[in-house]
Structure 1
Amino acid sequence: MRLHRNLCFAVIDGLHKIFNEGDYADKVVQSLLKRDKRWGSRDRGFIAETVYEIVRYKRLYAEIADVKAPFDRDNLWRMFAVWATLKGIKLPDWKYFEGTPTRKIKGRFDELSKNRRFSASIPDWLDELGVEELGEEIWTKEIAKQNEQADVILRTNTLKTTKADLQKKLLDEDIHTEYIDGYPSALKLPERANVFQTEAFKLGFFEVQDANSQRVAEYLNVSPGMKVVDACAGAGGKTLHLAALMENKGQVIAMDIYESKLKKLKIRARRNGVHNVELKVIDSTKPIKKLHGKADRLLIDAPCSGLGVLRRNPDAKWKLQPEFIENIKKTQSEILSQYSKMVKPGGQMVYATCSILPSENQNQIDNFLTSPEGKDFTFVKDKKILAHKSGFDGFYMALLKRNN
């Protein structure tokens, strides 16, 4: 591979924004890809994948390059040189790469790879937490998997098409997909492509959604005609899936504390041909109280650490702090206590997170069931999904039933 100066400069600019200005990696990459209209898909792919790779292995590359945060541009070029050397890419004769100790880089890599905190490139506190909650063996496998690039997975919008027809439609647009056993609506891309530019996307035939994320709505056992509440809807990936499973019949009430996210959901719902969704901003306790005892089904896709989706958000491990995880656990507990009151007698509720930590998952359910608010609920089943076992994102989901 030959390095091109303008693409490398884009990578360095992106890393500066992520590491030094605290910008989110996905937003930075989106912005970088619009910088030059002459760039082809290979150029854009290089920028996106290189930025994400260096973000994933920030601690390892910084240690090998012998640089410390905050990283000035010379430091970033040194980290880039480490990345390129380890990839077997010949460094061009640019001033940024003068004196790069190629042999030393490979030796340091071999040495540091024996230490999980460097090989998986994670903060000390996070490594300690992972071992404490999951055990050494499982944590080692899981955090290694979380450093791999995530697959692009599509969820067929069954309100508009079938999986087989969607696959044909995408093939007509030169995008190859594969079925995934056990995931009825999912298609996987063997090679990355910009699916958002396709006619199929514009027509609302699919949404991009991880395979295990697609399990959550299915876990809720919805039927057409029900009154279903998605209490932490966000931009609505699971809301839209619920609407499709309900065949656009009945009512899905999508709630969130952020109105901006619900506005995005409104646009997505229109493209998806979904018309049984009602949006409600949680700006006080009133919207929740009005629904007490009225929901046939309730989905609580709770805010969490996101440790199950680090493949998609590699910068999250550098932004996360121990106090955030402690605070989010309190929030999860409060949400369970308050929002569960919306389930009517005989109704069902799913509590889900994209975390792999038991303290955010089954421990929360155990605590809820022994609380005054949880005494009316019965545990039905739960599912703990780890990325290294499933091949897709890490998730947890628990199904509870409210007693008659």
Structure 2
Amino acid sequence: MGNTVNDRELILEILLAVTRDGEYSHIALRNVLENYQYLDKSERAFITRVTEGTLERMIELDYIINQFSKTKVNKMKPVIRTIIRSAVYQLKYMDSVPDSAVCNEAVKLAGKRGFSGLKGFVNGVLRNISRNLDNVKYPDKSDTVKWLSVIYSMPEWIITEWLKNYDREMVEKMLQAFLAERPTTIRCNLSQISREKLAEELKKEGVKVRLCDTVDSALFISGYDYLGALESFRTGHFQVQDISSMEVAEWADPKEDEYIIDVCAAPGGKSLHLADKLAGKGHVEARDLTPYKVDLIRDNIARIGIDNIEAVCQDATVYDEASEKKADILIADLPCSGLGVLGKKTDLKYKMNPDTQEELVHLQREILSVVHRYVKSGGKLLYSTCTIHRAENQENAAWFAEQYPEFELVRERQFLPGVDDSDGFYIAEFVRK
């Protein structure tokens, strides 16, 4: 494992940034991997695996720790709690590291971080758990919510909500899908390179590739170390994007010379897909709220080198008179609870709560009531979210159709993880009569 202590210190830093300081896990992890590019592939894989795994399984890990520790998890100091959590993840889910090494490294790390007085505590709890992992008493299966929550590390309120709309078997399928290993989904920029040619390029770079049979520009890739290290990524031949998100542009089906406005576009996947489909014609205006988000879109535009698209800083809740009835196609992929992408952004399940979710339902309505005015008559409005929450999805689409009868709901679809080869995602297509 090369310089093991260093790896575990980095893991501790990332986990503290997420659980204590509220940073997003994919950003905290990416920052560390970018800063430590000299680490070899196996070390980077170890850091990624332990970080993502600890966050993904946190509810179960805490449940186990609380069974064998006199001091409950929420009473521990953040550093100690984090060291113990990631050690228990390794004990339970990683055979590659011997139990004794996991315990020793955790004790060393506690000392290194100024908690020498707690080394005995850390050692005692972890050795107790490693001896008793097969004797953990899980909740009774008859207590459906509690059992699913602990086994799949999903907050109880989310499971309760899903069980209102789907049966237990379906909910369990989704929960399994979020924890399953999944390849990265990418979209080939067809105006630059054919999908077959891109697949060849990627294979030459040592990447495993599988073509997707539902969307003609999509591929699944795995076995690579780091995206930025791939020549085909740097030259703009592809974009990381989920199948469900690609479906937005597929549904929009833009025609040559059409004007498209994407009101909440960062980091720009859908806008770039639409620009690619226009093959250099027409125009895409990719908007977002903050200069930081607009820069993310600009970085992607620059990398791909496409010129029928521009990034604009514009608040979607504020009416923009210049855009009145200007768009042939309007994309409203709005801020949402994100509970469809928990396979990629694990920590969202701990950050979201019912109150914030309720506020998002109202924000979505507020934005829709402003931006629908930008659609030409005969034009399309595509509303989408990356969640599985009826109030944000089907109920908001029904609300919009009722409020604005000049728009007709043409079709809608809820994509579900474990059923569709994609994230949890919702799309509704409206046409202005």
Interval containing the TM-score (normalised by the shorter chain): over 0.9
Distance (Å, rounded) in 2 between the aligned partners of 1:218 and 1:71: 49
- Tell me, yes or no, if structure 1 residue 32 matches structure 2 residue 32: yes
Deviations 1:31-51 (A, max 9, x none): 332454542111101101110
Residues 367 and 39 (structure 1), Cα distance of their counterparts in 2 relative to 1, 3 Å cut = same
Alignment partner of 2:123 out of 91, 98, 108: 98
Listed one character per residue, the Cα deviations across residues 328-386 of structure 1 (whole Å, up to 9, x for unaligned) are 00011111221111111111111111111111111111111111xx2101111112100
Alpha-carbon separation, structure 2, partners of 1:284 and 1:384: 24
- The one-letter code sitting in structure 2 at the alignment partner of 1:384 is Q
Match of 2:113 in 1: none
Q: Which residue of 2 aligns with 1:383?
A: 413
Task: Establish whether residue 111 from structure 1 lines up as the match of residue 138 from structure 2.
Answer: yes
Q: Which runs of 5+ in 1 are unaligned?
A: none
CA RMSD of aligned residues (A): 2.1
- Residue 82 of structure 2 corresponds to 76
Distance 1:286 1:13, change over 3 A: closer
Cα gap change, 1:368 to 1:197, in 2 (>3 Å):
same
- Corresponding residue pairs, total: 400
- Letter matched to residue 138 of structure 2: E
CA-CA distance at 1:192 after TM superposition: 4.1
How many angstroms apart in 1 are the aligned matches of 2:78 and 2:382?
46
Would the aligned equivalents of 2:339 and 2:387 in 1 still touch at CA under 8 Å?
A: yes
Deviations 1:198-220 (A, max 9, x none): 21112111111112221111111
Q: 1:368 is matched with which residue?
A: 400
Change over 3 Å in CA distance of 1:35–1:346 after alignment to 2: closer
SS at match of 1:177: strand
Which deviations, in whole Å up to 9, do the C-alpha atoms of 1:229-254 show, x marking residues without a partner?
11111221111000001112011111
Q: For 1:384 and 1:284, how far apart are their aligned partners in 2?
A: 24
**What is aligned with 1:202?**
234
Greater shift after overlay, 223-232 or 273-282? 273-282
TM-score (norm 2): 0.87
- Deviation of 1:150 after TM superposition, in Å, equals 3.8
- Kept in 1, the 8 Å contact 2:316–2:367? The answer is no
What CA deviation, in whole Å up to 9, does each residue of 1:172-225 have, x standing for no partner?
Answer: 222231101112111111434323212111211111111222111111121121
Q: Which has the higher helix share?
A: 2
Distance 2:423 2:365 in 1: 23
Q: Deviations over 1:150-177 (max 9, x none)?
A: 4211110112111011111122222231
| Cα distance change, pair 284–231 in 1 and its aligned pair in 2 (3 A) | closer
Q: Please give the alpha-carbon distance, in whole angstroms, between the structure 2 residues aligned to 1:284 and 1:366.
A: 21
Counterpart CA distance in 2 for 1:10 and 1:343 is: 48
Per-residue Cα deviation, 1:295-340 (whole angstroms, up to 9, x for no partner):
1111111110001101111011111121110000001111122111
CA distance in structure 1 between the partners assigned to 2:231 and 2:140 by the alignment: 44
One-letter code of the match for 1:111? Y
Shift, 1:283, TM fit: 4.3
Inter-partner Cα distance in structure 2 for 1:390 and 1:284 = 30
Partner of 2:324: 292
For 1:167 and 1:284, locate their aligned partners in 2 and report how far apart those are by CA, in whole Å. 37
Report the CA distance shift for 1:265/1:36 in structure 2 as closer, same or farther (over 3 A).
closer
Cα distance in 1 for residues equivalent to 2:413 and 2:41: 38
Over 3 Å counting, the alpha-carbon distance change for 1:113 and 1:13 in structure 2 is farther
> Which one-letter code corresponds to 1:157 in the other structure?
N
Q: Percent identity?
A: 26
Distance 1:199 1:113, change over 3 A: farther
Q: Using the TM superposition, give the Cα deviation of residue 107 of structure 1 relative to its aligned residue in structure 2, in angstroms.
A: 1.9
Which sits farther off after the overlay, 246-255 or 37-46?
Answer: 37-46
Report the CA distance between 1:147 and its aligned residue. 2.5
Task: Sort the Cα spacing of 1:284 and 1:168 in 2 relative to 1 into closer, same or farther, 3 A.
Answer: closer
Instruction: Name 1:348's counterpart in structure 2.
Output: 380
- Distance in 2 between residues matched to 1:37 and 1:394, nearest whole Å: 32
2:348 to 301, 316, 319: 316
Q: Is 1:277 aligned with 2:309?
A: yes
5+ residue gaps, structure 2, are: 67-71, 108-121, 142-146
| Aligned equivalent of 2:369 | 337
Moved more, 134-143 or 326-335: 134-143
Give how far 1:56 is off: 0.9
Higher mean alpha-carbon deviation, 222-231 vs 15-24, is at 15-24
Q: Which residue of 2 aligns with 1:42?
A: 42
Deviation of 1:273 after TM superposition, in Å, equals 2.1
> 2 CA distance for matches of 1:387 and 1:60?
21
- Helix, strand or coil at the partner of 1:383: strand
Aligned to 1:400: 430
Give per-residue Cα distances to partners, 1:66-107, cap 9 Å, x unaligned: 242365333223222321221234223516263312232232
CA-to-aligned-CA distance 1:94-124 (integer Å, 9 cap, x gap): 162633122322321x624841111111222
Q: Name the structure 2 match of 1:168.
A: 200
SS where residue 285 of structure 2 aligns?
A: strand
